[in-house]
Structure 1
C-alpha cells in the first residue's frame, strides 16, 4: 500500500495490517504489530522530507509464525535510535520498536531511499 505523509494514513495502514494478520491467523501479534507499524510509519512521515508525489509504502508478509513489516520511503536519512532525556516528549519510537520486535533494521530498496523493517514472532516473549 502507498500512503501520503498525512497523519491519518497511519490509522488506515493499521487497519490494513489488522486485516492481513487476521487472514494469516496471527491476531496474537496484533497489538504489538500495529504499534510497531505506527512508529515506523510516523517516523517516515515526520522525517522523510521528500518531494511531493513520493509516497511512503508499507508491505506486510508472514514469516514462519510471525510477520515482517516494511516501511519504504524515498529519504536516504537512516533511522537512528535515540536516548531522550526523561522529560522529552518524543524520541522513543525506535526504543519501542526494539523492545516489541524480534529484530529490526533498515536497508536499500528498489528506487531512491530506504526500507525500514521489523519482524515479530508469535512464539517469542
Structure 2
C-alpha cells in the first residue's frame, strides 16, 4: 500500500491546493490519466463539502488522504464535524446540492467513517485502478 496525507486550512482556496497535491502524487504513482481526472473531481467535491458544511468551530484544518492498494485508489477528506453527509436531490435550477450525487456516480464505492484520530468524520471514495497509459 502507498499512502499520502495532507492537512490544509479550512478555506475555499484549499480545494485548489488539494487538487494540485493529488495530481502530483498520482503522476508520481503513474496513475492512468482518466482515473486521475476522476480522482481530482472526487477530491474537489469532497473538499467543497467539507469547507461548506464543516464550518468553524468544528476545526481549522481539513485532512486529505490518498491511498493506493489492492487495485484501488482511495481519496478521503476528514473534518472535525460529526454530521454525516446525506445525498439530496437537487432541482434543475439549484446551484448546489449535487456533490454527493457526483461522488456516487464516479466512485466505485464511497462512504463515511469516524475520523481516525480525533473528533469528526472522514468521507471517502474509491476508484478501480488501470495500468498507466
* TM-score normalised by L of structure 1: 0.91
Which residue in the other structure is 2:112 paired with? 106
C-alpha deviation, 1:86, in angstroms:
1.4
CA RMSD of aligned residues (A): 1.4
Aligned residue runs from structure 1 range 1-125, under 5 A: 1-28=6-33, 29-51=35-57, 54-109=60-115, 110-123=117-130
Q: Deviations over 1:60-119 (max 9, x none)?
A: 110233311111100011101010111111100000001111000001122100010110
Structure 2 residues without counterparts, runs of 5 or longer: 1-5
C-alpha deviation, 1:27, in angstroms:
3.3
Cα distance between partner residues in 2 of 1:75 and 1:52:
5
Label 1:100 to 1:9 Cα distance change in 2 as closer, same or farther (>3 A). same
**Structure 2 counterpart SS, 1:32:** helix
Cα distance between partner residues in 1 of 2:83 and 2:49:
11
**Equivalent residue pairs, number:** 123
Structure 1 residues without counterparts, runs of 5 or longer: none
Q: Deviations over 1:30-50 (max 9, x none)?
A: 111000000001100000023
Cα distance between partner residues in 2 of 1:99 and 1:6:
26
Contact 1:26–1:66 (CA under 8 A) maintained in structure 2: no
Cα distance between partner residues in 2 of 1:85 and 1:3:
32
Cα distance between partner residues in 2 of 1:52 and 1:92:
23
